Amino acid sequence: MELVERLASALARSGIDVVTPLALSWYNDSIPAELGACIPARGAAGEGALAVLVGNSRALWEPFLDACATEDLLDSDNPLDLYLQRAVCGSLESAAPGLQHRIYWSHRRTDDLVPGPGVQPGAAGASEHVAFQRMAHHAGLAYLDESSHLCLHPRFGPWFSLRCVIIFDNIPWGKPQPRELPNPLPAATQMYVKMALHTAVHNTSKKFHLPEVDVEAAEAAMAEANIEPGLGVDIPAGGAPRSRSRTPESGRSGSQGGQQVGSAGSSGSRRSSMDKDGRPCIRAVAANWRAWVAVRDSPCPGHPMRYSEEQIVYHYTRDRAVLAKALLRRGCVPHCATPLPATGLLDPAYQAYHSAAMDAQKTAGVRRHYPPAPAGVEPITAA
């Protein structure tokens, strides 16, 4: 079996079901120099090195919960990141033993990225994140939709995540680059998506401006086209939707030229909801997460590969109590040494579990061990 296939089948056992090979150059060539998000080539294969883009669909959820029931994941600040790290490293050990590799994680900042070839070092600021969505687009995995800022996968729609890329510096990838996928969204749907994004951004921070969306024009266009926003799914007789052929829309050019939505707002009372560039920060997104779920729903409401409600709530809030409740609902006791947050105590199963955990903690807390008093020190006795 080929390396990529071996890796894909090892990762699939952990619910990591999106694995796409590409040459490092496909990604680097797509990055506008001013983004400074190129990955430096470091080995014998140079820019032709094999890169494996790794992600997941909803398939991740149950294997992840299984691991939460048996491993110490709930004791970590971010159980999902720890799970992914273990799963990816374990899969590499079994599928690519001894092969030199580097891993870039989508959520982690790095100071390793560089401007494109031919650009003077220091001429452009370096990104702290690999531009994973562009990578997915140029690997032919998904279409990067500018109206939602989400990658749309032919099977999973927007309901998949990009987790890491593994670079095998000494292994060349000589296959031809696939064509970019066509835009699956009709113009009227794009308008609808922009409105959802506009609302989410507005809820998140009034100081963050998007180019104005003409709501009336959008509604008129949708009415004229007589369509619901959708992403190429049919409802067959049985009720479960399935893919249909899509209308190829305007193809997109190689890169987006570093285009970014919005501009920094002035400082003000809601400043903390924005990052240093004036864009909403992840904490602000988590605080307004329902509006951001609406953005993800907007390209294709009711998509068959939508995450379960449980998975959605966890991904958007990162609340570990959601995991404990999910486990209790499945009849498993969460494997956790530290008490979990008290959010969601309205759920009776969670309430019972939480008070038992707190009691256990209290009992454990009173059994303290003190070092023996040094010689010559009189013990204090009660009068």
- List interacting residues with ligand B12 (CB under 6 A): 35, 37, 106-107, 127, 129-134, 144, 148-151, 158, 160-162, 201, 260-262, 275, 279-282, 285, 292, 295-296, 315-316
Query: CB-wise, 67 or 113, nearer to ligand B12?
Result: 113
Query: CB-wise, 228 or 275, nearer to ligand B12?
Result: 275
Query: CB-wise, 171 or 295, nearer to ligand B12?
Result: 295
Between CA 26 and CA 35 the distance in angstroms is 16
Q: Are the beta carbons of 110 and 104 closer than 8 angstroms? A: yes
How many CB atoms sit inside 10 A of residue 80's CB?
22
Q: How far is the CB of 43 from ligand B12 (least distance, A)?
A: 22
Q: How far is the CB of 298 from ligand B12 (least distance, A)?
A: 9
Query: CB-wise, 27 or 353, nearer to ligand B12?
Result: 27
Q: What is the full DSSP assignment across 310-374?
A: HHHHHHHH--HHHHHHHHHHTT-----SSPPP-TTTTSHHHHHHHHHHHHHHHHHHH---PPPPP
Q: Tell me if residue 89 falls in helix, strand or coil.
A: helix
Q: Are the beta carbons of 227 and 186 closer than 8 angstroms? A: yes
Q: How far is the CB of 44 from ligand B12 (least distance, A)?
A: 27
Dihedral (C-alpha) 265, 267, 270, 272: value to the nearest 10 degrees? 100
Query: CB-wise, 12 or 126, nearer to ligand B12?
Result: 126
Alpha helices in 23-108 (DSSP H): 24-28, 61-70, 79-95
For residue 224, how far is the Cα from the chain centroid?
Answer: 35
Q: How far is the CB of 306 from ligand B12 (least distance, A)?
A: 12
Query: CB-wise, 151 or 328, nearer to ligand B12?
Result: 151
